[in-house]
């Protein structure tokens, strides 16, 4: 069991994300008053990110069938659903996050973060007013001798889309989440984003706008926890307050983020711009990702049911960061591996209930 947990953490930490050629994990910050160009700072400042080299996939430029259908004369809600479903598929995903300014005139801009991975996005629920998309990464890496290794599989994040959602989950800082109930959600879709362990991350809502070349969704401002790329190296802010824009395109989709870094309750620290680009790929072997999902999806379904119950019954809750010196995802990943072998649903449900209860902090302020 200990080996499984360590191996899974190794995949999550180092192998699931690959580094773009030419970028090194340099960690020197730079004074914002001493540079001219903010978004692309090379050669003034190098980027940080993954430390492995991935097997470059073949880009697929064919237009997806769902995107073609959006261009036809369907009702607005049908176009919305097709745009969301267009995000499913097999992709090369590039991630870029760049600090662009800070409140202090001599604010030290962190190194831009750049990485990429290959992942499949699977439709796990498709109802009239609800669509759930599960991201699963599958990476082949190259060692220093050029030998290809893998695949390394990692359950990644999940996004749930709900039509005219009347309950929006919002992070408050200090490991606390709160259910908000907006006044007018007519014609909107919420996007709820969940961590790799299916615990909540953030949620917001907005309307889809469909044009000939793209379908766009822009969120309301939403608060969210520090991302994994930041929470172990930054302690000067407590949460991100940001706006997301999703553009569904003929060749894939793009998610843009405009994030403010906030020290609770209302101290602005700095701002960053983020871009996640999902390019369709072909002739890439995702079999291991599908095999993993097929063998563990019942376990992860039980995890989702547990969280759905919590979100229905509780208007606010707090989560501990660790139990027995391990974060929540380490417990769930190990239990999912056990379930692959045993297929014991009753035991899995008991383990899930006990694990999540250990991470819920009953001292959460009201």
Please give the average per-residue pLDDT across 272-292, as a whole number: 96
- Beta carbons of 148 and 292 less than 8 angstroms apart: no
Q: What crossing angle do the helices spanning 328-342 and 345-359 adopt, rounded to 10°?
A: 170
Question: Kindly report the CA angle at 187 between 186 and 192, in degrees rounded to 5?
Answer: 95
Distance in angstroms (rounded) separating the CA atoms of residues 337 and 281: 28
Please tell me the predicted confidence (pLDDT) of residue 363. 75
Q: How confident is the model over 120-147, as pLDDT tens digits? A: 999 999 999 999 999 999 999 888 888 8
Q: Which band of pLDDT confidence, cut at 50, 70 and 90, is reported for residue 17? A: low
Please tell me the predicted confidence (pLDDT) of residue 23. 42
For residue 229, is pLDDT > 60?
A: yes
List 202's β-bridge partners, or say none.
193
- Beta carbons of 109 and 30 less than 8 angstroms apart: yes
Q: What crossing angle do the helices spanning 287-313 and 345-359 adopt, rounded to 10°?
A: 60
**Can you tell me whether residue 14 is helix, strand or coil?**
helix
Please tell me the predicted confidence (pLDDT) of residue 16. 47
- Beta carbons of 164 and 183 less than 8 angstroms apart: no
Of the ranges 73-77, 180-184, 208-212, 238-242, which one carries the lowest mean pLDDT score?
73-77
pTM for the model = 0.91
Please give the average per-residue pLDDT across 219-247, as a whole number: 93
Q: How confident is the model over 178-220, as pLDDT tens digits? A: 999 999 999 999 999 999 999 999 999 999 999 999 999 999 9
Specify the higher pLDDT residue, 53 or 45.
45
List 278's β-bridge partners, or say none.
93, 253
């Amino acid at each position: 069991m200990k080996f499984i947990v360590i191996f899974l953490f190794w995949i999550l930490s180092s192998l699931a994300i690959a580094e773009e050629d030419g970028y090194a994990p340099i960690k020197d910050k730079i004074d914002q008053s001493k540079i001219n160009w903010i978004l692309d700072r090379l050669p003034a400042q190098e980027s940080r990110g993954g430390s492995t080299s991935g097997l470059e996939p073949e880009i697929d430029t064919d237009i997806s069938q769902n995107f073609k259908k959006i261009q036809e004369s369907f009702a607005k809600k049908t176009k919305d659903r097709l745009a969301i479903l267009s995000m499913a598929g097999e992709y090369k995903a590039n991630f870029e996050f760049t600090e662009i300014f800070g409140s202090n005139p001599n604010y030290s801009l962190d190194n831009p973060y750049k990485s990429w991975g290959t992942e499949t996005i699977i439709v796990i629920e498709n109802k009239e007013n609800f669509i759930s998309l599960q991201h699963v990464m599958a990476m082949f890496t190259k060692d220093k001798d050029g030998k290809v290794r893998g695949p390394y599989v990692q359950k990644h994040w999940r996004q749930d889309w709900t039509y005219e959602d009347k309950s929006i989950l919002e992070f408050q800082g200090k490991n606390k989440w709160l259910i908000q109930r907006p006044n007018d959600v007519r014609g909107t879709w919420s996007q709820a984003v969940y961590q790799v362990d299916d615990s909540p991350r953030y949620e917001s809502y907005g309307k889809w706008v469909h044009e000939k070349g793209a379908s766009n969704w822009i969120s309301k401002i939403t608060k969210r926890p520090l991302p994994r790329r930041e929470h172990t190296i930054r302690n000067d802010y407590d949460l991100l307050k940001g706006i997301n824009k999703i553009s569904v395109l003929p060749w894939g989709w793009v998610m843009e983020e405009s994030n403010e870094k906030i020290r609770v309750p209302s101290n602005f620290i700095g701002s960053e711009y983020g871009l996640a680009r999902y390019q369709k790929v072909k002739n890439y072997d995702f079999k291991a990702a599908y095999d993993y999902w097929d063998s563990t999806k019942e376990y992860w379904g039980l995890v989702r049911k547990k969280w759905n119950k919590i979100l229905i019954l509780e208007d606010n809750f707090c989560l501990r960061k660790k139990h027995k010196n391990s974060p929540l995802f380490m417990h769930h990943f190990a239990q999912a591996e056990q379930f692959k072998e045993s297929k014991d649903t009753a035991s899995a449900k008991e383990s899930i209930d006990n694990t999540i209860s250990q991470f819920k902090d009953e001292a959460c302020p009201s």
